[in-house]
Amino acid sequence: MGIEQRDKEGDLAALKRVAETFAVSVTPHLQAQIDPSDPKDPIARQFLPDAAELVTHEHERPDPIGDDAHSPVPGIVHRYPDRVLLKLVNVCPVYCRFCFRREMVGPGAKGLNAAQLDAAIGYIAEHPAIWEVILTGGDPLIASPRRLAQVIDRLNSISHVVVIRIHSRVPVVDPERISSELVAALKASTKTVWLLLHANHAREFVPEARAAIARLVDAGIPMLGQSVLLKGVNDSPAALADLFKAMIANRIKPHYLHHGDLARGTSHFRVSLEQGQALMRRLRGHYSGLLQPTYILDIPGGHGKVPVGPVYAEPAADGESWEVSDPWGGMHHYADPAAD
């Protein structure tokens, strides 16, 4: 047996171990977007298993953002006073190789049964401070339009809930699911419905995806974008600018750029905070303010999200004024006339 054949068999064995550890699924739509001749294809890197996922580190965690510590009943995560996550399902049409919930999603992972859903809705109804319910999972848009409509109808009956937010990859990974029935289910809500699309590269916005997004926005459903900063996918000013331009062109406002979470087997995607801040600084002043998301770190252990973007203003040495950096690195003195 030649060295090349042994290496190929070794690669296949490693990928099999990855698939036995973490869920793998790629929709036909995404398969058609992958360029097999490009070893750096950003679609393939996000969704195809990689032997690098078998490399784990001590600092990585099975629950990197601490969902479990804030879950009073199954399906609910209540980390912030005015909003909760409602994890309706634990499956997705695709599985991102950097997923922070990769330990709890995948084939065989059960969503909420009827009794658990009753308890989750009951929890929301019993806490009047909850202003916003975020449907997540898994990907909530993998649920049937009928089930989504039923859940939304139950949330409609809770007077203190004002906003229903839906986090989904579906419009860019399985756009045919954005059917007229699904759009009607979302539009029928008496609450304000927002949809946050997760996309990480401009190449995800192919014509089918753009059409799916248009079906949602044309129906009056506002959309925001969230992305993850990923080494080898979007860790350059040009890649981020192209991504955010694609969002804006499709009527999606970039909302969050997430620093990668410490999920097991994701070190090959990791970019340092310093690198992330430098990338955000390169966007400021060079590109429209519409393209500027908030760079966010979800503090490990369940301590919440905080902005970690570059700082442009710092107190001057006199303790009474400020030193302010412009977008191109020039420093300027600012005496705050409103200061005491």
**pLDDT above 50 (res 109):** yes
Taken in order 105, 107, 109, 110, is the CA torsion positive or negative? positive
Q: Is the pTM of this model over 0.85?
A: yes
User: Is 16 one of the catalytic residues?
Assistant: no
Task: Decide if pLDDT at 210 tops 70.
Answer: yes
Between 118 and 56, the more confident residue is: 118
Percentage of the chain beyond pLDDT 90 is: 87
Q: Does residue 194 surpass a pLDDT of 90? A: yes
* E strand or H helix that includes residue 121: helix 114-125
Mean pLDDT for the stretch of residues 55-83 = 94
Q: Which of 256, 261, 270, 281 is catalytic?
A: 261
Of the candidates 41, 45, 79, 95, the residue annotated as catalytic is 79
Q: Per 3-state DSSP, what percentage of the chain is helix, strand, and coil (rounded to 5)?
A: 35, 20, 45
Of 31-35, 107-111, 136-140, the poorest mean pLDDT is in: 107-111
Phi-psi category of residue 106: left, alpha or beta, with phi > 0 → left and psi -120 to 50 → alpha: left
Q: Of 67, 87, 92, 165, which is the active-site residue?
A: 92
Residue in 99, 203, 264, 295 annotated catalytic = 99
Of residues 45, 101, 102, 203, which has the active-site annotation? Answer: 101
191 noted as active-site residue: no
Q: Are 201 and 35 in contact (CB under 8 A)?
A: no
What mean pLDDT is predicted for residues 64-84?
95
Q: Which two tokens stand for residue 156?
A: 């409609």
The pLDDT score that the predictor gives to residue 2 is 42
Picking from 252, 265, 188, the residue whose alpha carbon sits closest to that of residue 223 is 252
Q: How confident is the model at residue 10 (pLDDT cuts 50, 70, 90)?
A: low
For residue 20, which amino acid is it? Answer: E
The full DSSP string for 190-216 is SSEEEEEEE--SGGG--HHHHHHHHHH
Other beta carbons within 10 angstroms of residue 309's beta carbon come to 20
Mean pLDDT of 166-185: 98
Quick: pLDDT tens for 91-105.
999 999 999 999 888
Q: 261 catalytic, yes or no?
A: yes
What pLDDT does residue 133 have?
98
Identify whether 96 is a catalytic site residue. yes
Class of domain 17-309: alpha beta
- Residue 256 pLDDT > 70: yes
In the prediction, which pLDDT does 337 show? 87
10 φ, ψ to 5°?
A: -65, -40
User: Quick one: three-class SS letters along 34-56?
Assistant: CCCCCCCCHHHHHHCCCHHHHCC
- pLDDT tens per residue, range 123-144: 999 999 999 999 998 999 999 9
Q: Which of 63, 96, 256, 270 is catalytic?
A: 96
Res 137: pLDDT: 87
Specify the 3-state DSSP secondary structure of 249.
helix
Give the closest residue to 62 by CA, choosing from 259, 265, 227.
Answer: 265
- Say whether 63 is catalytic: no
Confidence band of 106 (pLDDT split at 50, 70, 90) = confident
Choosing from 80, 215, 253, 282, the catalytic residue is 80
Q: Give me the residue spans of the domains in the chain.
A: 17-309, 311-340
**305 part of the active site:** yes
Q: Output the pLDDT for position 171.
A: 98
- The amino acid sitting at 302 is G
| CA Rg value for the chain | 22
* pLDDT at residue 9 in the model: 52
Tens-digit pLDDT profile for residues 268-313: 999 999 999 999 999 999 999 999 999 999 999 889 999 999 999 9
pLDDT at 181 (0 to 100) = 98
